């Protein structure tokens, strides 16, 4: 029996079933069931494609953030060096600045401090403004309350240690003193 004969026999069977009525309903139900299965399969395929696309976007965003903030740990370590250079420069009195040998040494320290500041700037690391600002617990850490009439309560009046941000992330909070009513 070849394909043409098979098709002819199947068509003949369908005609007989259609004449009876009930098999026609069964065929209609079968088509409806197949259409339902096709819709479900299409919905699952669309969901899977959307999930793949969302995963790809999430991985790309994670990769971008990882590369942007990879230097955060190194930057935190460099903050201690910057702090020490600033302390050294603040501790120098006018007498030492007047000395020729000491002034050359101080010029080297100042140049190093400027270079660190420039490197921070190139890498999106910036100092958090504190004095005169309202206390922001996301950027500042209050260490003491200072009784004063000079500022509104909750305003930062003293900075003990500078805080830094790397782009939009906190590297180190500023350690501050906050005004309170006397």
Kind plus residue range of the DSSP H or E element containing 125: strand 125-127
> Mean pLDDT over all residues of the chain?
88
Q: Report yes or no: 160 and 177 within 8 Å, Cβ to Cβ.
A: yes
pTM of structure: 0.63
Percent of the chain's residues with pLDDT above 70 = 88
CATH code for 125-182? 2.30.22.10
Give tens-digit pLDDT for 59-70: 999 888 887 777
CA distance 130 to 162: 8
The encoded tokens of residue 72 equal 């955060």
Q: How far apart are CA 95 and CA 1, in angstroms?
A: 115
Between 5 and 147, where is the model more confident?
147
pLDDT in tens, 14-35: 666 655 555 556 788 889 888 9
Lookup result for tokens 């020490």: 84
pLDDT (tens digit per residue) in 114-165: 999 999 999 899 999 999 999 999 999 999 999 998 999 999 999 999 999 9
Asked if residues 120 and 85 have their Cβ atoms less than 8 Å apart, the reply is no
């Amino acid at each position: 029996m070849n394909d043409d004969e098979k098709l002819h026999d199947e068509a003949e069977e369908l005609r007989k079933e259609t004449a009876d009525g009930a098999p026609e309903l069964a065929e209609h139900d079968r088509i409806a069931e197949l259409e339902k299965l096709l819709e479900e399969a299409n919905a699952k395929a669309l969901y899977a494609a959307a999930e793949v696309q969302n995963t790809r976007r999430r991985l790309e965003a994670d990769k971008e953030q990882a590369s942007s903030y990879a230097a955060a740990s190194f930057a935190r370590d460099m903050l201690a060096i910057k702090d020490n250079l600033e302390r050294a420069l603040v501790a120098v009195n006018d007498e030492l600045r007047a000395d020729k040998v000491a002034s050359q040494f101080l010029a080297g320290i100042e140049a190093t401090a400027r270079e660190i500041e420039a490197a921070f700037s190139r890498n999106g690391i910036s100092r958090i403004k504190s004095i005169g600002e309202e206390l922001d617990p996301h950027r500042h850490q209050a260490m003491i309350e200072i009784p004063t009439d000079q500022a509104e309560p909750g305003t930062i009046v003293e900075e003990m240690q500078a805080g830094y941000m790397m782009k939009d992330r906190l590297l180190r909070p500023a350690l501050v003193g906050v005004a309170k009513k006397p």
